A = this chain, B = another copy of it.
Amino acid sequence: MSHPDLLGYAAAFLTTASFVPQVWQTLRTRDTRALSLWMYLLFTVGVALWGVYGILLGAWPIILANGVTLLLATIVLWHKLTEPRES
């Protein structure tokens, strides 16, 4: 594995793993008020496109990172879309 690949995997791990505490907090608190709906809409579509970009380049750090991030961001987006008024 080349050095850029190693760095790519480290970057991929961090940006992907970063959504785990957000998903956890959102599932636990059901509080999505401070989360921007537009951020999660644009971000989810963008991450899907990054995945396709990675496939075209054959760049596995990009493919893996964005596949998992897509799943995690979709969970947050789903909760934002279905947020209760005030609980």
Contact = CB atoms under 8 A, between A and B. Distances in A.
A21 to B, nearest CB: 4
B29 A43 contact: no
Interface in A24-82: 24-26, 29, 31-43, 45-47, 49-50, 52-53, 56-57, 61
A22 to B, nearest CB: 4
Question: How would you classify the secondary structure of chain A's contact residues: helix, strand, loop or mixed?
Answer: helix
Given A7-B49, A53-B61, 7 more contacts: A7-B56, A11-B46, A18-B42, A21-B42, A29-B34, A31-B34, A35-B35
The 6 A-B pairs at the shortest CB distance, nearest first, are namely: A14-B46, A15-B46, A18-B42, A11-B49, A21-B38, A18-B43
